[in-house]
Amino acid sequence: MKVNIDIDENHEETSITIKANAWSEELEAIMDVIKKRKPHRLFGVEEDQTVLLEPNKIDFIYAEKRKVFAALKNKNIEIKMKLYEVEEMLTPHNFMRFSKSVIGNLNHVQRFELSFNGNLCVYFHSGNKEYITRSHVTKVKEKLLMGGQINDH
């Protein structure tokens, strides 16, 4: 792989161009690194105060009654964002869609249990639990088999 870096004060913003003959796992890894470095911060509201949320402390994010919440070990904190916005921000941190209203942190999954309706019940290390709907089960399992259980915190 060849890397060119052009540092010039005339450039208004940082721009990255990748030239390749086909998509590869290497390009996927590069994209993950680039996305992870975005200076996004996730803020929540707790008792009328704004708090900074660390992705590695969150078990899952869920939407309920038109509001979005982060489920931590022993509390839920409201996030003033749309679920899809939070999903885009947290995907590089190993979060994945569990259902229409839930995004889960794969790094915190302890075990699974098959439910009678085909959904998977996910148990987190904190004791929290959530469900993965049938339509998302295969993708989540594939991600975990690919090494989704990366503890980089």
Tens of pLDDT, residue by residue over 69-92, are 999 998 999 999 999 999 988 988
Topology adopted by domain 25-148 = OB fold (Dihydrolipoamide Acetyltransferase, E2P) (2.40.50)
Tens of pLDDT, residue by residue over 48-66, are 899 999 999 999 999 999 9
Closest CA to 88 of 108, 118, 68: 68
Where do the domains of the chain lie? 25-148
User: Do 126 and 108 touch, CB atoms closer than 8 A?
Assistant: yes
Burial of 96 (0-12, 13-18, 19+ CB in 10 A): buried
* DSSP state, residue 74: S
The sign of the dihedral angle between the CA atoms of 78, 81, 87, 91 is negative
Better-scored residue on pLDDT, 144 or 126: 126
Closest CA to 96 of 136, 152, 68, 56: 136
Per-residue pLDDT, 119: 87
Per-residue confidence band for 149, with pLDDT thresholds at 50, 70 and 90: very low
Whose tokens are 């105060």? That residue is 49
Average pLDDT, the chain: 85
Tens of pLDDT, residue by residue over 11-40, are 888 888 888 888 888 888 788 777 765 546
Per-residue pLDDT, 145: 76
User: Do 91 and 40 touch, CB atoms closer than 8 A?
Assistant: no
